[in-house]
């Protein structure tokens, strides 16, 4: 293994490269595995350790149920291959993550000087004592045949490598995660255009250096509006969606809410990330019927944003509300809803919490195999084409600004 400083320097170079720059989760995983290998070389790192120590998963994380860590490791493995096939071709230290292991490997690149290998005496003698013309022809034919076989083998290896590199995080078609995601996201995979993801960016007044607050139409001029900011939950949510759609071999387009138009609604399948209180364009589109974002007008939580349960069942609350204002946020609620679009031929999904953390959790919920399978079971959708419009509420547990637990609180099928 190269010296420790060389290894850490190479990890820094990888995280700053075009291949990994911007992929915070993969860089975090890479640094963690590097630290573990340098501190305890050859010691196997467990999937549970990575889930809880790197990605903040709860203590009840079950690797047999969730494939999150395996998918992330596969993505990192593919990114490393990409890097060393391009920008890192001459780097002196090579970092690898072997398949079936979470033990990172460091090794020196074999030195090459570009000079041809000197001919040995035996090679010179073989060349000087060439066989007869017929033997030469047979040798040439045999050599050409061998070369063709080698070229085919190399080509197949390159194709397999490229497939693993580009779609390293894509499970096989028989994989349960792919089946679940394929059923759930099918409305956004079958259209001629890439789905359009609209993220909320609330209207603020003031300036970052002097203080900002939400725009109040009763006392503020529209000329004062700043709409250049969005919550951290929405940012991380876009990243999660991009990963899942990448696994499904589909790309997404992203647009901020203030730039959204009704032409976009007519011509695209839409995924809204963020609550209607900030994603104001949602008010012009088909909206939720069962779980509606409203500010409470009475009671101890008057003025707080809530998800109102329009037709509560016996075991359900009338409204779902996050932790009280002025206290640490430990609980939030979010809506996951699939509806026909303004153009009935299009689909519309809303992923929104009453806070930015709830919004992040709503997206994580639909990007995890276990939770997608849970909601598909509630909706009796077991094959492509069976998923119908629905609305659901997700209860979210939050610790230090990070969603750490999610569960379905209520589900409704829409007619």
101 contacts 44 by C-beta, under 8 angstroms: yes
Asked which of 113-127, 202-216, 398-412 is least confident by mean pLDDT, the reply is 113-127
Q: Is the confidence at residue 324, as pLDDT, over 60?
A: yes
Joined together, the tokens standing for residue 316 give 């359900």
**How far is the C-alpha of 287 from the C-alpha of 265, rounded, in Å?**
13
353 contacts 334 by C-beta, under 8 angstroms: yes
pLDDT at site 56: 86
pLDDT at site 177: 67
Average pLDDT across the chain, whole number: 79
pLDDT class for 84, splitting at 50, 70, 90?
very high
Half-sphere exposure of 276 (CA within 13 A, CB side): 20
- E strand residue ranges, 69-112: 93-96, 105-108
pLDDT at site 94: 94
At residue 282, the 3 state secondary structure works out as helix
Report pTM: 0.57
At residue 338, the 3 state secondary structure works out as strand
**How far is the C-alpha of 294 from the C-alpha of 194, rounded, in Å?**
31
In sequence order, the 6+-apart residues with CB closer than 8 A to the CB of 179 are none
pLDDT at site 387: 92
134 contacts 141 by C-beta, under 8 angstroms: no
355 contacts 322 by C-beta, under 8 angstroms: yes
403 contacts 396 by C-beta, under 8 angstroms: yes
pLDDT at site 282: 61
- 338 - beta bridge partners? 349, 390
Q: Is the confidence at residue 172, as pLDDT, over 80?
A: no
**How far is the C-alpha of 269 from the C-alpha of 192, rounded, in Å?**
10
**How far is the C-alpha of 291 from the C-alpha of 339, rounded, in Å?**
13
227-244 pLDDT, tens digit each = 666 778 888 888 889 988
pLDDT at site 285: 63
256-295 pLDDT, tens digit each = 877 777 777 788 899 999 876 666 556 556 678 899 888 8
Q: Average of pLDDT values for 71-88?
A: 91
351-393 pLDDT, tens digit each = 999 888 999 999 999 999 889 999 999 999 988 788 999 999 9
Pairwise pLDDT comparison (58 vs 143), residue with the higher score: 58
105-133 pLDDT, tens digit each = 999 987 655 444 443 333 333 443 444 44
Burial of 356 (0-12, 13-18, 19+ CB in 10 A): buried
pLDDT at site 125: 36
pLDDT at site 210: 67
pLDDT at site 170: 37
Q: What percent of the chain has pLDDT over 90?
A: 35
């Amino acid at each position: 293994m190269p010296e420790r400083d060389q290894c850490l320097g190479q990890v820094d170079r990888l995280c700053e490269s075009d291949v990994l720059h911007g992929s915070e989760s993969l860089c975090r995983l890479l640094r963690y595995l590097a630290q573990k290998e340098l501190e305890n070389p050859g010691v196997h790192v467990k999937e549970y350790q990575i889930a809880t120590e790197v990605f903040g998963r709860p203590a009840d994380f079950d690797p047999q149920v969730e494939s999150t860590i395996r998918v992330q490791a596969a993505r990192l493995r593919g990114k490393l291959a990409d890097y060393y096939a391009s920008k890192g071709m001459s780097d002196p230290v090579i970092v690898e993550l072997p398949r079936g292991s979470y033990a990172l490997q460091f090794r020196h690149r074999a030195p090459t000087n570009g000079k041809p290998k000197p001919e040995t005496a035996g090679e010179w003698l073989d060349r000087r004592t060439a066989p007869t013309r017929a033997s030469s022809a047979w040798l040439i034919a045999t050599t050409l045949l061998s070369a063709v076989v080698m070229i085919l083998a190399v080509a197949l290896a390159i194709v397999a490598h490229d497939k693993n590199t580009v779609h390293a995080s894509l499970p096989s078609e028989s994989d349960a995660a792919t089946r679940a995601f394929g059923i759930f996201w099918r409305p956004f995979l079958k259209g001629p255009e890439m789905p359009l993801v609209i993220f909320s960016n609330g209207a603020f007044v003031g300036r970052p250096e002097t203080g900002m607050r939400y725009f109040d139409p009763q006392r503020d001029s529209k000329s004062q509006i700043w709409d250049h900011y969005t919550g951290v939950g929405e940012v991380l949510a876009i990243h999660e969606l991009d990963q899942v759609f990448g696994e499904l071999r589909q790309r997404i387009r992203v647009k901020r809410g203030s730039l959204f138009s009704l032409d976009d609604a007519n011509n695209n399948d839409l995924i809204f990330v963020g609550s209607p209180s900030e994603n104001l364009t949602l008010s012009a589109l088909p909206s939720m019927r069962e779980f509606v974002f409203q500010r409470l007008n009475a009671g101890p939580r008057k003025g707080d944003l809530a998800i109102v349960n329009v037709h509560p069942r016996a075991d359900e609350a009338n409204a779902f509300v996050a932790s009280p204002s002025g206290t640490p946020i430990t609980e939030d609620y979010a809506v996951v809803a699939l509806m026909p679009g303004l153009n009935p031929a299009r689909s519309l999904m809303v992923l929104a919490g009453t806070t930015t953390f709830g919004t992040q959790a709503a997206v994580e919920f639909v990007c995890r195999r276990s939770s997608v399978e849970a909601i598909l079971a509630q909706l009796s959708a077991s094959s492509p084409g069976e998923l119908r419009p629905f609305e659901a509420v997700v209860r979210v547990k939050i610790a230090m600004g990070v969603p750490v637990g999610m569960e379905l609180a209520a589900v409704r099928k829409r007619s």
